[in-house]
Amino acid sequence: MATRTRQSQRRRQVLTRERIVETAVELLDTVGKDALTVRALTGRLATGSGAIYWHIGNMDELLEAATDAVVADALATRPTRPAGAGSPQDEIRAVALGLFDAVTEHPWLAAQLAAQLTRNPWGPVTLRIFENIGRPVRTLGVPQGVWFTTTSTLVHYILGATAQTSQSTGVPSSEAERAEFLGTASRAWQDLDPDDYPFMRAIADQMREHDDREQFLTGIDLILTGITTLHPPEPARRSGEGGL
């Protein structure tokens, strides 16, 4: 904004909660989860540890803020944001994929999403995700009495699925690397005790050939089918009641 170089500006910038969160995300993205320490933050921000604690309560709070920031970004920047575009189903898929892709871009995110869910079940992160899934669920036309239940099912599936997918997709790495990972796992399943793990042995082949992203969407569709089967949309009672 002024003529100073960004460098000096950066150093002179007042320390702010936002700037701390931003730096935390940077550290998580570039160096990984274990690199996010108060000392690393003080280094990058050129301050003392007390300064950090003046702006944020503790490490957990910072992790929550970092997670929320990334989730908010992932859900806001979806290209198809403007309403009225696709079906509610498409919107639900878009939100879900937004989270899925965010998790593959930020390898630390999956663990944090899960952690937030258990640590602060109705904190900002969960709230945001629920809201973004719940809105299209509402326009799906299911009776109001099942809004909470159906949305919960979708959200819980999404979070469970993204949690597991994180590592296998993890670093984009090479296609070969991914094939090797799947091959190793698949082989391991085939070596399992047939008495203890008949099922896993039986699906070892499917495991090797499956595509995480595609399978993720298949799960979404499965649940959407369940929802519309059990709760057929009401006869479009005044399509503008809630608007969007």
Partner DNA sequence: ACCTGAACACCGTTCAAGT
- Which positions touch its own copies (CB under 8 A)? 110-111, 114-115, 117-122, 126-127, 130-131, 134-135, 137-138, 144-145, 147-153, 155-161, 163-168, 185, 188, 192, 196-200, 202-203, 206-207, 210, 215, 218-219, 221-227, 229-230, 242
CB atoms within 10 A of CB 62: 21
Q: Please report the sign of the dihedral spanned by the C-alpha atoms of residue 22, residue 134, residue 76, residue 74.
A: positive
Residue 33: CB partners within 8 Å, gap ≥ 6? Answer: 108, 111
Q: Are the beta carbons of 64 and 120 closer than 8 angstroms?
A: yes
Binding mask 13-32 for DNA (x = CB under 7 A): -xx-----------------
117 binds, among DNA, its own copies, none (CB under 5 to 8 A by kind): its own copies
Does position 120 bind DNA by CB under 7 A? no
In total, the chain counts a number of residues equal to 244
97 binds, among its own copies, DNA, none (CB under 5 to 8 A by kind): none
Could you give the angle at which helices 147-169 and 212-230 cross, rounded to 10 degrees?
170
Q: What distance in Å separates the CA atoms of residue 76 and residue 74, rounded to the nearest whole number?
A: 6
58 binds, among its own copies, DNA, none (CB under 5 to 8 A by kind): DNA
Q: What distance in Å separates the CA atoms of residue 54 and residue 17, rounded to the nearest whole number?
A: 9
130 binds, among its own copies, DNA, none (CB under 5 to 8 A by kind): its own copies
Does position 55 bind DNA by CB under 7 A? yes
Q: Are the beta carbons of 134 and 151 closer than 8 angstroms?
A: yes
Does position 215 bind DNA by CB under 7 A? no
CA angle, 219 then 220 then 222, to 5°: 65
Q: What distance in Å separates the CA atoms of residue 29 and residue 36, rounded to the nearest whole number?
A: 10
Binding residue for DNA (CB under 7 A) from 22, 44, 59, 192? 59
Binding residue for DNA (CB under 7 A) from 37, 149, 167, 173? 37
194 binds, among its own copies, DNA, none (CB under 5 to 8 A by kind): none
9 binds, among DNA, its own copies, none (CB under 5 to 8 A by kind): none
Does position 36 bind DNA by CB under 7 A? yes
Minimal distance in Å, beta carbon 155 to DNA?
28
Of 48 and 143, which CB lies nearer to DNA in the complex structure?
Answer: 48
Minimal distance in Å, beta carbon 34 to its own copies?
12
Q: What distance in Å separates the CA atoms of residue 223 and residue 228, rounded to the nearest whole number?
A: 9
φ and ψ at residue 181, rounded to 5 degrees: -60, -50
Given the rule CB under 7 A, which residues bind DNA?
14-15, 36-40, 46-51, 53-55, 58-60
